[in-house]
Amino acid sequence: MQYMLLICGVEGGPEPTPEEREAMIADTEKWVAEMDGRGVRKFGDRLRPVDTATTVRVRDGETLLSDGPFAETKEQILGFDLIDCADLEEALEIATKHPSARSGSIEVRPLWPWLED
């Protein structure tokens, strides 16, 4: 079953030290290599800052565009990973190993294929 890991954190929060930043990058690269090696990670990437987002709504045939994210919250979606696992238990095990879980949160959501009820 496929799951989307939504990597969440506070954008614009306290800046990490250069050493903390280098450690996070190294830990994330290690996590990606491990999950790629296991064959469970299908794709993932970081997202640009929320000030680059545009929200699209269509109401009564009229398109409404808003600058910024769809919701105003302290945490934003900073990135994502698509994984393919045997079950939710494995998906949660993978999410707990993600370095971003130590400073932010990871929302684990199963994909809902179009042909599935």
- From first to last of its 117 residues, what are the pLDDT tens digits of the chain? 999 999 999 887 788 899 999 999 999 999 999 999 999 999 999 999 888 989 899 999 999 998 876 666 778 899 999 999 999 999 999 999 999 999 899 999 999 988 765
pLDDT in the model for residue 115 = 74
- Per-domain residue ranges of the chain: 2-110
Domain range 2-110, CATH class:
alpha beta
pTM of the model: 0.86
Pick from 74, 33, 70, 37: nearest CA to 55: 70
pLDDT at 11: 84
pLDDT for residue 45: 95
